């Protein structure tokens, strides 16, 4: 069997945040599967075939990619950000687990990417400088009770919280409910960043505090960062304000 | 003022996981500060100066880099993995906050990198496919009570847990105490991965279960991943076993 499959992270923006390994794997692939807008970011050679699918068809995309690799092709599946974080790597491994035995024999390479929270954190300075957690607000695949339990645990643990998929079409009120829950558990002055389209030309970063967050500004392209009790803003004349979660806990200025 | 400062993530391994932006920024820098072993990974031009320092001198390194940038130099500070995750970005922003006003006026660019947990997750398949948190076990900078509170919250929230700095010299028993705490709160069969030196030539991945973890195998180069109640292994004939946290919660096979 000569076929193989790679799952390649594109990072949250354009080429600057692509890794060298990702560029190499994309260049070697004969068939590239992905969500249409991600494929549109790539420059393909004439011998490469793009297979675009909708964002909701991750499992079917994974199965089609595995079937083609099992037939002998060099296949890549692309993912925005990091493929391991709420993205295509899990869909591919789930498909391998449930699929025919020959899929398990395929060489599989997951190539990491800059996840959205790392891109947003880079723009903001150092909001993830201390312990943090990442929670997807999409409840397509998990009940709201689990999301609420995790938000509560994240608040009790005083983690910085990164919220992914905050405006799922399946549950548009999730972000409203999530902020209601967080406001009941955390200080009103907790710093919050809404980082939209990070790394893209329409990037927009908004800094606010927990009591003032306008959830109407949060869409599916937004990564939300909610600070810990230690997180603070550092203002700079003529430069963007920074968001800092210091390395030292319990040593307020 | 013509000086500027970048804080550049090198990723956990060698060049393949470096981003294009990181390569560009390293090429443009006149002075590069960092922990000696990270600087040793770079190929510098004759016009570039390397300023190596010990791993425990992060704040002093940040201050020296800022002072040189304020004097007009193009300065880069390098960080293993992602500079925003338990690394140099927070040290730099803390130094800016506490330093002279001119440091706040400097252009600052944080360039994200592949954090160790993303590199480890890529090697393992998809252990971070669902909600997760990252906790540093180093208590140089925070009391053990906070670490314990966060481990407890992470277990109660049923997050996948990534443990950074698991074998701090300042508290070598931290990892033993952390596993004792996790074993009391989570199922004995919970999948655990010890991912050592990921992306380097001496990379070594060990898969086990919570009850069987040998903490003697965990050193400072090890990233520890502890699964959620949903995490499982997927065995493959002739290929490495995968670790999967599925996207769907509560749908056991």
Tell me the chain B residues in contact with residue A150 when contact means C-beta distances shorter than 8 Å: 131, 157-159
Indicate whether B55 pLDDT > 90: no
Secondary structure E strands in chain A:
4-9, 31-35, 49-53, 74-79, 108-111, 125-126, 132-136, 160-164, 191-196, 204-209, 222-226, 232-236, 239-244
Tell me the chain B residues in contact with residue A132 when contact means C-beta distances shorter than 8 Å: 133-134
CB pair distance less than 8 Å for A237 and B156: no
What is the reported pLDDT for B138?
A: 86
pLDDT tens per residue, range A140-170: 778 899 999 999 999 999 999 999 999 877 7
pLDDT tens per residue, range A164-195: 999 877 777 899 999 999 999 999 999 999 99
Instruction: Give the mean model confidence (pLDDT) for residues B55-77.
Output: 95
pLDDT tens per residue, range A21-78: 999 999 999 999 999 999 998 999 999 999 999 877 899 999 999 999 999 999 999 9
CB pair distance less than 8 Å for A11 and B19: yes
Indicate whether A80 pLDDT > 60: yes
Tell me the chain A residues in contact with residue B235 when contact means C-beta distances shorter than 8 Å: 104
pLDDT tens per residue, range B181-191: 999 999 999 99
CB pair distance less than 8 Å for B96 and A18: no
Does the interface ipTM go beyond 0.90?
yes
Contact at 8 Å (CB) between A64 and A75?
no
What is the reported pLDDT for B1?
A: 57
Lowest mean pLDDT among A157-166, A217-226, A240-249, B164-173: B164-173
Nearest to A19 among B114, B128, B129 (CB): B114
Report if pTM > 0.90. yes
Indicate whether B42 pLDDT > 50: yes
Give ∠ CA A227-B154-A110 in degrees, rounded to 5.
Answer: 90
Q: Which of A14, A23, A103, A114 should one mutate to test binding to chain B, selecting the residue with the greatest count of B CBs within 10 A?
A: A114
CB pair distance less than 8 Å for B90 and A126: yes
What is the reported pLDDT for B253?
A: 42
Nearest to B133 among A19, A133, A143 (CB): A133
Nearest CA in chain B to A122: B110
CB pair distance less than 8 Å for B125 and A110: yes
> In the structure encoding, which two tokens stand for residue B113, read together?
């990198």
What is the reported pLDDT for A138?
A: 86
Contact at 8 Å (CB) between A138 and B150?
no
pLDDT tens per residue, range A199-231: 999 999 999 999 999 999 999 999 999 999 999
What is the reported pLDDT for B141?
A: 72
Distance of CA A143 to the CA centre of its chain: 20
Indicate whether B204 pLDDT > 90: yes
Instruction: Give the mean model confidence (pLDDT) for residues A237-245.
Output: 97
Q: Which of B76, B126, B160, B232 should one mutate to test binding to chain A, selecting the residue with the greatest count of A CBs within 10 A?
A: B126
- Rounded to the nearest angstrom, the minimum Cα separation between A56 and chain B is 13
Nearest to A94 among B17, B86, B244 (CB): B244
CB pair distance less than 8 Å for B154 and A157: yes
Nearest CA in chain A to B152: A157
- Rounded to the nearest angstrom, the minimum Cα separation between A202 and chain B is 18
Nearest to A134 among B110, B132, B152 (CB): B132
Instruction: Give the mean model confidence (pLDDT) for residues B208-226.
Output: 96
Q: Which residue has the tokens 């109640």?
A: B229
Nearest CA in chain B to A16: B21
> Quick one: which of A185, A227, A186, A182 has its CA closest to A208?
A227
CB pair distance less than 8 Å for A118 and B89: no
pLDDT tens per residue, range B70-86: 999 999 999 999 999 99
Nearest to A90 among B23, B94, B247 (CB): B247
Nearest CA in chain B to A96: B234
Nearest to A89 among B11, B15, B129 (CB): B129
Rounded distance between C-alpha atoms, residue B211 and residue B193, angstroms: 12
What is the reported pLDDT for A170?
A: 72
CB pair distance less than 8 Å for A82 and B118: yes
Nearest CA in chain B to A163: B131
Alpha helices in chain A (DSSP H): 20-28, 36-39, 58-70, 88-98, 101-104, 116-124, 144-156, 174-185
Q: Is B204 helix (H, G, I), strand (E, B) or coil?
A: strand
CB pair distance less than 8 Å for A141 and B245: no
CB pairs under 8 A between A and B: 267
Rounded distance between C-alpha atoms, residue A168 and residue A80, angstroms: 17
CB pair distance less than 8 Å for B23 and A19: no
Nearest CA in chain B to A25: B16
Mean pLDDT for all residues in chain B = 94
């Amino acid at each position: 069997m000569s076929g193989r499959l790679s799952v390649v992270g594109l990072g949250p923006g354009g080429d600057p945040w692509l890794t060298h390994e990702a560029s190499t794997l994309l260049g070697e692939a004969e068939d590239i599967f992905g969500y249409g807008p991600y494929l549109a970011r790539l420059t393909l050679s004439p011998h490469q075939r793009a297979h675009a699918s909708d964002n909701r068809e991750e499992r079917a995309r994974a199965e089609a990619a595995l079937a083609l690799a099992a037939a002998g092709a060099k296949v890549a599946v692309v993912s925005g950000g990091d493929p391991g974080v709420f993205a295509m790597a899990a869909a591919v491994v789930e498909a391998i687990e449930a699929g025919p035995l020959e899929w398990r024999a395929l060489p599989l390479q997951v190539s990491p990417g800059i996840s959205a929270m790392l891109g947003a954190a880079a723009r903001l300075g150092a909001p993830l400088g201390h312990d943090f957690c990442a929670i997807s607000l999409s409840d397509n695949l998990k009940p709201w009770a689990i999301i609420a339990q995790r938000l509560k645990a994240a608040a009790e643990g005083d983690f910085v919280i990164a919220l992914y998929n905050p405006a799922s079409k399946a549950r548009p009120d999730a972000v409203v409910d999530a902020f209601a829950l967080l406001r009941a558990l955390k200080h009103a002055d907790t710093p919050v960043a809404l980082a939209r389209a990070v790394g893209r030309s329409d990037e927009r970063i908004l800094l606010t505090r927990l009591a003032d967050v306008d959830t109407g500004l949060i869409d599916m392209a937004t990564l939300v960062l909610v600070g810990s009790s230690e997180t603070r803003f550092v203002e700079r004349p003529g430069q963007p304000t920074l968001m800092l979660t210091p390395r030292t806990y319990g040593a307020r200025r």
